[in-house]
Amino acid sequence: MKVSDFDFSMPERLVATEPAPGRDSSRLMVLNGGASPEHREFPDILEYLHPGDMLLLNDTKVLPYRLHGRKPTGGAVELLLVRDISQDGSGKHWEVLSKGSYTGTLEFTGPLWANVTDGAVAELEYEGELEAVLDSCGEMPLPPYIKRRADERDRKWYQTVYARRPGSIAAPTAGLHFTERVLEGLREKGVLVRELTLHVGVGTFLPIRSELVEEHGMEPERFEIQRALALEINALPGRLITVGTTATRAVEGYFSGNYEPWGEDDDTVRGSTDIFIHPGYEFRAVQGILTNFHLPRSTPLMLASAFCGRRRLLSAYSAAVDRDYRFFSYGDAMLLLKGI
C-alpha cells in the first residue's frame, strides 16, 4: 500500500491553532459500523457507551520540554527534551531534538544549563526538582503546524484533566476533550473508566520517508499496564474503547505480544512497543477508538484507517471538511465503533 493513498486536502483555515472555548465544547463525528457519519457534540459520547464498556485513557503527562537556550557567543538554540536516558536515575541525561548539530554549553532562563553533544544528547545541570525547573523556563511542545509560541493557556489546555505520569513530548490529544463532568457521567452510567500509560515520543510524529506503508518502522515508545487491568480487559462484558492512538498502540502492543519488557513486577508490566498499526492489522483487544482528525500521510491516520477502513475514513474526512470541522491536536473528535 502506498503512503500517498493516505493523502487528503483541506483548507488551512481548518487547522485548529487555538483550543476550543471549553474542553467538551468540541464537535464529535461518529462512525458507528457501516452507518453514515453522525454529527454530534462531544458530551453526546455518553449516548454511545454502554454499561459494561471500558473507556481506556492514557494518563501520561506533558511537561514544558521545549527550551530556548543561549550559546556563550549569544546565539540562540532551541532544544526539545525527548527522553530521559540517565542510567543513574538522576534525570540529568537526555536525548534531545535540535536543529543543526551544536556541541557546547547552553544557558536557559532559570536555574538550568546544558552541555550538548551533536545536537542530540544533553547533560543537564539544575538545582531542585526538574519538573519545577521546567515550569520556570520551558514551553509546552506544541506541534509545528501550530505556528505560534506556546503561552500560559497551553500549560492548561495542552494537557488532559487526568494527566499524572510525566514523560510525553506531546499530549494524547483525543483525551483533551474530556472534563470531569463527562467522565463522571460515564461512570454513573456504568462505563468502566481505566488508565494505562504510554509516553508519547518522536515516533508518533516522524514523517514517513518511504513510498510504501509496509517499509516504515516506528520508534519504540514506553508503556505501563497494570496486570489487574489486563485481566479485567480479558473478562470484559462490554467493549473496550480506547482514547487516542497512543492508548490503542499500548494495549494492542501488549495483547499482540509486540513489545519488549524493560522491567516488571507482580503488579505492573513495563515495556516498549514499536507496533505499527495500518490497514491489514487484526485488532486483538479494541472495539472502539476515540480519536482526533489526523495529518495526511501520518501513522495515526493509518491506525484509524486500519480500524474502520481507509476509504470510509477518508470519505468521513471529506465530510468533515465540508462541515468545517476543526482538525489536528486542538481540533474536534471522532468516535470509531464497530457497530452493535
Stretch 285-306: mean pLDDT: 97
Asked if 307 and 219 sit in the same domain, the reply is yes
DSSP H helices, the chain, are 130-137, 152-157, 180-189, 227-234, 244-255, 299-308, 310-322
Residue that terminates a domain, selected from 91, 112, 138: 138
Q: Which domain CATH number covers 44?
A: 3.40.1780.10
Q: Is the domain of 7 the same as that of 85?
A: no
Compute the CA torsion angle 10, 14, 16, 19 (nearest 10 deg): -150
Strands ordered across the beta sheet of 240-243: 38-41, 27-32, 333-337, 288-292, 240-243, 54-58, 192-198, 221-226, 268-273, 260-264
Looking at the structure of the chain, the number of domains it has is: 2
Distance CA 78, CA 36 (A): 46
pLDDT at 89 over 80: no
Q: Cell numbers for 165, please give them.
A: 505520569
Taking phi over 0 as left and psi of -120 to 50 as alpha, with beta for the rest, 257 belongs to: left
Same domain? For 310 and 254 the reply is yes
Identify whether residues 252 and 201 lie together within a single domain: yes
What pLDDT is recorded for position 205?
A: 67
The pLDDT value given to residue 33: 85
Residues contacting 76, CB < 8 A, separation 6+: 68, 69, 70
The verdict on 268 and 200 lying in the same domain is yes
Q: Where a domain ends, among 109, 138, 167?
A: 138
Are residues 74 and 57 both part of a single domain?
A: no
Are 49 and 161 members of one domain?
yes
**pLDDT band, residue 107 (cuts 50/70/90):** very high
Query: Do 57 and 100 sit in the same domain of this protein?
Result: no
Average pLDDT of the residues in 297-304: 96
For residue 142 the three cell numbers come to: 506544541
For residue 337, give the nearest of 291, 300, 298 by alpha carbon: 291
Predicted local distance difference test score (pLDDT) of residue 195: 98
Residue pLDDT, tens place only, 184-208: 999 999 999 999 999 998 776 677 8
pTM of the model as a whole? 0.94
204 CB contacts (<8 Å, ≥6 apart)?
A: 170, 221, 245, 246, 299, 300
**3-class secondary-structure state, position 129:** coil
What are the pLDDT digits (tens) for 120-144? Answer: 999 999 988 888 999 999 999 999 8
Residue 276 has pLDDT above 80, yes or no: yes
Q: Is residue 175 part of a domain?
A: yes
Structural domain boundaries enclosing 212: 3-62+155-337
DSSP 109: T
- pLDDT value of residue 109: 84
- Shared domain for 71 and 213, answered yes or no, is no
Are 199 and 264 in the same domain?
A: yes
Q: Is residue 147 part of a domain?
A: no
Residue 227, domain member (yes or no): yes
pLDDT in tens, 229-259: 999 999 999 999 999 999 999 999 999 999 9
- Phi-psi map region of 295: left, alpha, beta (phi>0 left; psi -120 to 50 alpha): beta
Verify that 101 and 213 share a domain, yes or no: no
Residue 150 domain-assigned? no
pLDDT at residue number 32: 94
Q: Kindly state whether residue 145 falls inside one of the protein's structural domains.
A: no
The domain boundary residue, chosen from 103, 138, 173 = 138
Mean pLDDT of 29-57: 96
On whether residue 275 sits in a domain, the answer given is yes
Confidence of residue 111 (pLDDT cuts 50, 70, 90): confident
Is residue 92 in a domain? yes
Position 143 in a domain: no
Q: Does residue 332 share a domain with residue 220?
A: yes
Question: What local confidence, expressed as pLDDT, does residue 339 receive?
Answer: 63
The domain that holds 118 is classified in CATH as: 2.40.10.240
- So what's the pLDDT on residue 117? 96
Backbone angles phi, psi at 78, to 5 degrees: -100, 135
